[in-house]
Amino acid sequence: MLAILRLILVVIVLVVISVVISLYCIVRPFRRNNVYYAAKAMGKVSWLLGLTVEIRVPESVKNQGPFVYICNHQNSFDIFTVSGAVQPATVSVGKKSLKWIPFFGQMYWLTGNILIDRKNSSKAMNTITLTAKKIKERKLSVWLFPEGTRSNGRGLLPFKTGAFRTALQAKVPIVPVCASNIHGQIELNRWNNGKMIIEFLEPMHLDQTSKENIRSVTNNAHVAMSAKLDELAQELGEIDASNNDTDE
């Protein structure tokens, strides 16, 4: 019963947020923070899922930028969890087909996110140039999922180099963002689904990076994020153990 009620409430809230934000974007188009406002609203839905989300942003990132943010992509719940961590003056890059999702797709497009055709490799390369241009001209940060797909419990998948090529071309740092594992953690029939931590790492500067060694930088970022995700898993495991001891 709780699962059904939650699903109904989530759908209603999603539609309401999408319509309100879309109307706001029509009245006040091309604002640098349109995506930020939409993402913050979507992030509030996490409490409906019984999930507590803690977001950790270092001073070197807070109110700074532009950056290219790279975050691990776990599952469909990211829209209600990771979205809450999106920083001001940030847009995301998503597949073109998203704009056809009723209500949400129109909001995603109207807020100013960048849509790409993943099936067309030549257009994908043009997207890197276009994204880098937007970063430089509008002083925007960009949020990307370098794995290119949802991991669905398979751990941190290998990274594609597009995000790093974009940062290199725009001459901005990469900021890794680590979202703790919630695979199998959310049970819609359970009131409390625990805690999730989203932690931003220190910016990675690519000043001396060349196109030839971009893969090496990509691998280094993967290693750093894997290590942080292991730390977060250990921290949350200790919290769960402490809570269980208290309950007993």
Domains of the chain: 2-247 (3.40.1130)
Q: Is residue 118 predicted with pLDDT exceeding 70? A: no
Residue, of 36 and 134, whose pLDDT is higher: 36
Amino acid, single-letter form, for residue 54: E
- In this prediction, residues 153-174 reach a mean pLDDT of 94
Q: Is residue 182 predicted with pLDDT exceeding 60? A: yes
Model confidence over 16-69: pLDDT tens digits?
Answer: 999 999 999 999 988 999 999 999 999 999 999 999 999 999 999 998 989 999
Q: What is the pTM of this model?
A: 0.93
How far is it, in rounded angstroms, from Cα 225 to Cα 219?
A: 10
The token pair at 234 is 């250990």
Give me the pLDDT at residue 120, please.
Answer: 63
How long a stretch of residues is the chain?
Answer: 248
Q: What is the band of 245 on the pLDDT scale with cuts at 50, 70, 90? A: low
Give me the pLDDT at residue 97, please.
Answer: 85
Query: Got the DSSP string for 121-167?
Result: HHHHHHHHHHHHHHHHHH--EEEE-TTSS--TTS-SPPPPSHHHHHH
Q: Is residue 224 predicted with pLDDT exceeding 80? A: yes
How far is it, in rounded angstroms, from Cα 232 to Cα 28?
A: 39
Mode of pairing for the β-strands spanning 174-179 and 195-200: antiparallel
How far is it, in rounded angstroms, from Cα 63 to Cα 49?
A: 29
Lowest mean pLDDT among 119-128, 144-153, 169-178: 119-128
Provide the sign of the torsion angle of the four alpha carbons 25, 162, 43, 10, taken in this order.
positive
Host H or E run for residue 168: helix 162-170
How far is it, in rounded angstroms, from Cα 27 to Cα 6?
A: 31
Residue, of 232 and 127, whose pLDDT is higher: 232
- In this prediction, residues 224-239 reach a mean pLDDT of 95
